[in-house]
Structure 1
Amino acid sequence: MNPSQEPGPQHYEQAQPYDPPPAYPYGGPVDALGWAPPRPRRRPLGRTVLVAVSVTAAMAVAGAPLGLLWSWLAPTVPVINAGQNGIVVNDPSPEEYIAADAWFTMIAFVFGLLAAVLIWLLRRRDRGPGLLTGVTLGGLAAAVVMWQVGRLVGLSAWNDWQDSSTAGQTYDRPPDLHAHGALLVAGFAAVIVTTLLAGWSNDPDLELPGARPGYGHDLPYPPDPVDPAVLSHPGDGRDRPGGLSSGSPAGPDPTAAPAPPAPWPADPPRG
C-alpha cells in the first residue's frame, strides 16, 4: 500500500474504555495458558461427619462375613483334657495359633486395600477428610467385628465340652486371635491406599475434571486482556472486545486466491 493510500485518521475510531471480564466466583487468577484454577470446595461439617459415619458403618457390616471366612480358613487347635492339669494343647509345638493369626492378618489387609479403592471410586464426590476418617475407623471396626464373629463360631460347643469332658478326651478348639495387633492391619491398609490415591489425583479437589459442574477445569476460558490505549484496526483478525470497526479493509483477505504473477518486462532490443 502506497503512503498516499494509507487510511487517514477518519478510518480509525477511538476504542471504548476497556470493560474487564466478570470476576470468577473463586476470584483467582488464570495461568499463562488461560486455564482457570479449580474453585475450592468448602464441604459442610455435617456432610463430612455423615460421610465418615456412613463409611465406618458400611465397613463394620462387611466385617461379619469376613469373620465367617476367617473361622473357615483358620485351623482348629487340638487340645486334651489332662485331668488335674486342666485342658492343654495336644501338641508339643503347635502352629495353629500362628496360622490363625496369619489368616486374620491376610484377610484384614486385603479387605482394607479393596475397600479403600472401592470407596474411593464410589464416593468420589465426598473425597476428603471425611472419607479418610471413615476408612480409618471403618477398618478398625471391621477388624473387631471380624474377630468377634469368627470366634463365636463353635464357641458354645467348646464351652460345653470344657464343662462335660473327662480326663483323656480330646477336642478341636475353634480358632481365636492371639496377636491383637492384627486388628490394626485393615485400617492401616485403608489409610495407606487412600492417601496414595489422593496423592496421585491430578485435581486439587480430588475429583475427576468435570465430575461436578462449576468445579475443576470446566469453567470457561477468560477473555484475552485488552490494553485500553490500543486502537482496534478493522479487518486485521485481531480485534479486541473494546475496539470498534469502521468496516474499511486493512489488508488482503487471507482466504482470497493469490493474484497472478505480473508479466516479465520485455527484453531491451539488442543493437
Structure 2
Amino acid sequence: MQPEEPLTPQPVGPSWWRPQQTSRRPWRRTLAVAFGSAAVVTVLGAPLGLLWHQVSPSVPVIDAGANGIVVNDPSPEQYIAADGWLTLLGIGFALIVAMAAWILLRRDRGPALLLGVVAGAAAAVRWIAVPIGELLGKDAYEHWRATATQGATYLAPPALHSVGPTLVPPFVAAIVLTLLAGWSNDPDLDQPGAQPGYGPNHGEYDSYESPVVSSGWPAGPDPTAAPAPPAPGPADQPHG
C-alpha cells in the first residue's frame, strides 16, 4: 500500500489581502445613474438661483454722467455680498443633494453616482443659479441705465464678481460623498449593515456569518468542552 501524501495546510478564515469579488451592475444602469443624477441636480439650480436673488442685497449705484454708472458708496459691502451669499448657499446646496443622493440611490452608490452629483452641482450653480439670479430685475436696471440722468441713483440687482463661489458646491459634494463612502462598512456601498471583508452583497440578509473553510486536517477537540477523564493506568487495574 502506497503511503498517503501529506496534506498541505490551507488558510482558515477570510483573507483580507485577497481581492473580493464584487457585484457587477449593468453598464446601462451605471450610465443612467450618472446622467440622471447630474440632470436632476442641475435642475435644482433654479430654486437655488431664486433664493440667491432674494437673500443677496442690492447694490446702490449712481449715474455719474461722463464717468458712467458707478457704485454710490466708497466701500460698498453689497458689491461682494452676492459672492458671499452664493458661497454659503452653495455649501448648503451641496450638502443636501449629496446626502439625498446617498440615501435615495442606495443601490447605485459608487463612482458613477459621485461623478453625476459633482457634475450636476457644478452645472447647477454656474449655468442655472447664477444666470437666473442675475436675470431677475436686469431688464428694469437696463431700462434705468438707458433713461437715467446725471445724479440719479438706483439699486442694482446682485451679480457675481468671481469664479470661486461656483467651484465650492462641486468640491463640497465630492468631499461629502467620499466621506460617506469611507465611513460605510459595506463592501458594495449599496446595502447598509454588511461587515468589511465578508464579500459582496447579493441579496437581502438580516445577518452576515463568516464562511466556513475546511483546511483538510481532522477536526481538533472543542476548546470549550470539558476535559475527558484520564484512562485507567496499571495501578488501577483489578488484581486477580
Q: TM-score range by the shorter chain?
A: 0.7 to 0.9
User: Structure 1: where are the runs of 5+ without partners?
Assistant: 1-28, 231-236, 238-250, 252-271
Distance in 1, matches of 2:146 and 2:133, equals 22
TM-score (ref. length: structure 2): 0.75
Answer yes or no: is the 8 Å Cα contact 1:205–1:216 preserved in 2. no
Larger radius of gyration: 1
How far apart are the structure 1 equivalents of 2:54 and 2:215? 73
Q: Write out per-residue CA displacement over residues 188-240 of structure 1, whole angstroms, 9 at most, x where no aligned residue.
A: 0000000000111101111214796437896776556385878xxxxxx9xxx
Deviation at 1:101, TM superposition (A): 0.6
Query: In the alignment, is the contact (CA less than 8 A) between 2:119 and 2:170 conserved in 1?
Result: yes
Contact 1:209 1:215 in 2 (8 A): no
How far 1:46 sits from its partner (Å)? 2.1
1:104 equivalenced with 2:93 (yes/no) = no
Equivalent residue number for residue 179 of structure 1? 162
Whether 1:169 and 2:169 are equivalent positions in the alignment is no
1:12-71 alpha-carbon deviations (Å, 9 max, x no partner): xxxxxxxxxxxxxxxxx97269xxx97401223222221111111111111101111111
Tell me the SS of whatever aligns to 2:70.
Answer: strand
Which of 67, 71, 87 is the equivalent residue of 2:53? 71
Q: Could you say which residue in structure 1 is the equivalent of 2:104? A: 122
The code of the aligned residue for 2:150 comes to A
Would you say 1:214 and 2:197 are equivalent positions?
no
Q: 1:113 aligns with which of 85, 95, 105?
A: 95
1:200 and 2:183 correspond: yes
Contact 2:12 2:215 in 1 (8 A): no
The answer to whether the 8 A contact 1:38-1:217 is kept is no
Separation in structure 2 between the aligned mates of residue 198 and residue 30 of structure 1, nearest angstrom: 29
**1:225 matches 2:214:** yes
* TM-score (norm. length: structure 1): 0.67
Distance 1:68 1:228, change over 3 A: closer
For residues 78 and 229 of structure 1, do their structure 2 counterparts lie closer, same or farther at Cα, with a shift above 3 Å needed?
A: closer
For structure 2, the 5+ residue unaligned runs are 1-10, 195-199, 223-227, 229-240
Q: Which deviations, in whole Å up to 9, do the C-alpha atoms of 1:66-107 show, x marking residues without a partner?
A: 111111110100011111111111111111121111000000
For residues 1-271 of structure 1, the aligned pairs below 5 Å read: 31=13, 39-144=21-126, 145-207=128-190, 208-209=192-193, 213-214=202-203, 222=211, 225=214, 227=216
| Distance verdict in 2 for CA 1:226–1:150, change over 3 Å | closer
Query: Percent same amino acid among aligned pairs?
Result: 48
3-state SS of the aligned residue for 1:121?
Answer: helix
Query: Relative to structure 1, is the Cα distance of residues 228 and 212 closer, same or farther in structure 2, using a 3 angstrom cutoff?
Result: closer
Q: Which has the higher helix share?
A: 2
Aligned residues: 202
Residues 38 and 205 of structure 1 are in contact (CA less than 8 Å); yes or no, is this contact kept in structure 2? no
